[in-house]
Structure 1
């Protein structure tokens, strides 16, 4: 017997004549290997008081029970449970539905065996399997049968995953034109390949070069028809054998269409490493599809960027590659991309190949720039989530928590088991004191909610144990008490915290980001009704403690003689006076942070007999700072401010929640705001600048900055009442498209760019009326200016009226 260690690529459980069989694909230093585990069973739990009735109901339905076992486990309500085991998944699911129909509660009935097998062994992504025998050792991917499995340290076992980017081009009807494949290294070579229907006679040159994409006729694989292209692509994937396939909307569009075209031509889409077609799943609550390919992972660039908390005005490949890389898709007319693709397919296939390959290359460069594959692998190592999992905060928490809970003698609760009727508040936001300030310090609690969890031992099982014995427990809020020694979540966060500190020392940005997202998600998980551990006493004991911490910190700072002008969730904004130098402000910020940290250590030890894990940091010194009022009122805003900071010797503007960082304002408003605020902060005259921008706007000199951009979140037909401007623009544009016999662009979500005209909102490219410059001046320029001008004793109308009197 020997062992095999590797990174888990895919996992699956299937019913066979021998019972449930688990299949895992591992990437090892020697390549990809298939591991099979036999004799596993599916299991859920019922309260022991219900077990006899449950067994009778199951047997009456003709469902086969493999085993019944009364365990030394109990529910959070202290009820003992019995485990029901099944040899087949179909029996497991039938039994679950049967018991639910008869109002018998099943616990942990939503874990698939392939996931539970790993979870109960504390396996996340790197695993060591003890091999019993080999089925086919001489195959390209040997097939091993294993019985035991254990977790291994990710630092001990490191593998690299091969990656290829895939993109296809097609007609509006879904007929394939070409499929591009790009990789910096696959099988020891760079890949720049395009499968193209047709022949080389339809080209304008023998070579094209565009944005570092060199493509020659030799790199195009000519296919006589669509059927030939599909067979060629399938063969290529099996020969070049990538671990990971990436793309842009690659599952919902590219693979979905490839599957449909294979079905049309009666072709088996055999792209798995076991020479089997992929398995498709559909989300019950949406139209989203998921693809499972044995031994290969498909990662969508849009999904993984969102998971890593990236945010863009638009997640189109053109926009993201432009913002991140400064590169663009190879298309001359973005608004008529489909027409250009069709023209190139008809008249210049090499140009289409270059366009296709450029899309593949851009996705590859985005992944490399953002370290998205590394991020996905590290996230899998930390949480047990599969590489292609979108979101998954609840699953990540459960993967880490459940095996510890079982060893403490509990089964997990079900959705809805937590206390009802309570609502825990969100993060604390102080009333702001509006104004223009000099020298504002921002003091920030480092990872506040995880720190509260660590300090006060907030934990689902810890609350159950704390409520059983309040005498030595830590009091929370809303009647919650937390055990001082029986808990898991604080220890999980401590471990992640240490890992993040190490990642920062090692300059491992992808790992640091992955850990930060996971740690910060744990409060959200406990506060989410979609989590089985949800209880408002848990989330309330975090957020209400945060409120108390900020209010008390504010009092302590003001006792020192400084003015707190704002506070938000984990940050305190302190005005320390106009006379201090930058050096003095930085020293004071560190002094205040140290003072507050010491105060909390003393206070928590005296009040709760606990060690404080809270850490207030001096984060920012604003040389100039502006806190606006709510528009049309004297009350200060929340989550909206601007300031001037010194960063590496350069003064920079910082905006939060204002027009310059919002996606629903024009570039005119953003540019105007940045320049105006810069002048105000520098105490420079603003009248001439404002008058100049107004004049340029009215003269049509800034038309390129007047575009609004807004997402269409539903189908156009679903907007009935209070139709917003961008929907009106989209409808008018598609009416024009319909009359002209062109494809409808805006019916099913997407993004629309539009102008405000004298005839109302009109989409870019469909404008047939003069732009309404008065409206732009009123809504964009005046709105921006009058937020800050009253604080320097003037206003927009006064400045513009002076200009108008000159004409």
Structure 2
């Protein structure tokens, strides 16, 4: 069951308990009309690219559910004209507050139950009970956060584009207002923001300012909307929106949107990227990181690497005959089968790209078991594995592909730090 189905099941149950009529699902032209309606989502502030230090992260606690509850956003409370209060920015319609809406009432209960569980979690030291409490509160978090998307889902029984549009609009307003307070009232630099969170430079000797900022914001926020302090990080590397890495005061590295978890990278690419990030975040030494990359490239050229680090693993999701496109793991699977191996859907195929005259890379994919160290194609692993895995990171701090690959000098890097 999807989270959207869980939301609908809960709404249907509560509606039945109240003796209310359950709306029908849309069909035909009604669904098509809904499917054509769009609205703008959350606000994302582009990051300050490169390395930054002393970063405090603040995020809104359950922002979308809190907005729905605080502003009483519901189909039954929507008012399209003659609005005097609780007006939605950008659009002008509003939501009445004289009586509690159906969805806000349910969400308020869910948010309250989750807050109780989180409080118990903080007070409990038993690992088993903590795990149980964490799972419960996390399930409620996912369910509560799904109401916003459900309101804008064309097949939903309780669909209303204006409601989903209002939630996103108000959320954008709050995150922008908080950023403005940070910059104008407290002279704090906001280097990144994404939907419900903001990343702020707070010098180590001015952490008290961060607390003052938090208290000021929460004193002004209405209803159950609340900004929380998520953590303090020694250093962060920001590449693009939703792609960054940070290290906290205990040396723990958090990576978002980069390639660590991608299965279609060989181990040598993943390991190199991980080492580069560690050097940049722990040592703040770009030149040391670039030197590491060039050393890996030299080792690949001179075949001073382990064969297992060059293997790429991809799952065969269907039978060989069902594939229409030529893909590396498919070619490797065919060669395994030709070699007498049993090949079935669901198998994870390990292959290595070898040297050859065929320009199509997929045709040079050999099963790992058939490959010797002298067979692999160094240029492929340098240009299609190592460099793509680290280039976006280095470009954010002013380094070029040529400098990494060949050591060719470029302009001064001083402006990046």
1:624 matched to 2:249: no
The corresponding residue for 1:530 is 155
**Whole-Å Cα distance in 2 between the matches of residues 712 and 526 of structure 1?**
37
User: Compared with structure 1, are the counterparts of its residues 568 and 425 closer, same or farther at alpha carbon in structure 2 (3 Å cutoff)?
Assistant: same
SS in 2 for 1:461: coil
* Offset of residue 531 of structure 1: 1.4
Q: Which residue of 2 aligns with 1:412?
A: 23
Compare the two structures and name the one with the higher strand fraction.
Answer: 1
1:499 matched to 2:123: no
Give structure 2 stretches of 5+ with no counterpart.
Answer: 122-132, 409-417
Quick one: structure 1 residues 645 and 462, their matched pair in 2 at CA, closer, same or farther if it must change by over 3 Å? same
In structure 2, relative to structure 1, the CA distance for the partners of 1:395 and 1:657 (3 Å cut) is closer
CA distance in 1, matches of 2:233, 2:103: 36
- Specify whether residues 589 and 715 from structure 1 end up closer, same or farther in structure 2 by C-alpha distance, changes over 3 A only: farther
Q: Report the aligned-residue RMSD.
A: 3.1
**454 and 663 in structure 1: CA distance in 2 versus 1, 3 angstrom threshold:** farther
* Cα distance per residue 1:287-343 (max 9 Å; x no partner): xxxxxxxxxxxxxxxxxxxxxxxxxxxxxxxxxxxxxxxxxxxxxxxxxxxxxxxxx
Shift of 1:498: 1.9
Highest relative contact order (Cα 8 Å, sep 6+), 1 or 2?
2
1:607-756 aligned within 5 A: 612-628=223-239, 637-646=240-249, 650-681=250-281, 682-684=283-285, 685-686=288-289, 688-698=291-301, 699-712=303-316, 716-717=320-321, 719-720=323-324, 723=326, 727-737=327-337, 739-740=338-339, 742-746=341-345, 751-756=348-353
Distance 2:275 2:162 in 1: 47
Show CA shifts across 1:68-115 (max 9, x none).
xxxxxxxxxxxxxxxxxxxxxxxxxxxxxxxxxxxxxxxxxxxxxxxx
Alignment of 1:537-552 (within 5 A): 537-552=162-177
Query: 1:512 aligned to 134, 137, 158, which one?
Result: 137
**Partner Cα distance (2:299, 2:206) in 1:** 43
Deviation at 1:550, TM superposition (A): 1.9
Q: Structure 1: where are the runs of 5+ without partners?
A: 1-389, 602-611, 629-636
Secondary structure of 1:474's counterpart equals: coil
Distance in 1, Cα, partners of 2:92 & 2:318? 43
Structure with more of its chain in helix, by fraction: 2
- Matched residue, 1:441: 56
- Look up the match of 1:562: 188
Count of residues in Structure 1 that have an aligned counterpart in Structure 2: 378
1:482 matched residue in structure 2: 95
Given the two structures, how large is their TM-score scaled by the length of structure 1? 0.43
Q: Distance in 2 between matches of 1:449 and 1:711?
A: 37
Higher CA-based Rg: 1
Secondary structure in 2 matching 1:626: strand
Relative to structure 1, is the Cα distance of residues 703 and 683 closer, same or farther in structure 2, using a 3 angstrom cutoff? same
Distance change (3 Å), C-alpha of 1:754 and 1:426: farther
1:439 shift after superposition? 1.5
Mapped partners of 2:376, 2:42: distance in 1: 43
Q: How does 1:178-193 map to 2 (within 5 A)?
A: none
Residues 377-401 of structure 1: CA deviation (Å, up to 9, x unaligned): xxxxxxxxxxxxx325324433335
Q: Does the Cα contact within 8 Å between 2:153 and 2:159 map onto a contact in 1?
A: yes
> Are the aligned partners of 1:415 and 1:533 in contact in 2 as well (CA < 8 Å)?
no
Q: Is the 2:3–2:142 contact (alpha carbons within 8 Å) kept by the matching residues of 1?
A: no
- Describe the superposition over 1:682-711 as per-residue Cα deviations: whole angstroms up to 9, x where unpaired: 134335433432233332423222233345
Deviation, 1:479, is 6.2
Structure 2 residue 209 is matched with structure 1 residue 595 = no
Q: Distance in 2 between matches of 1:512 and 1:718?
A: 43
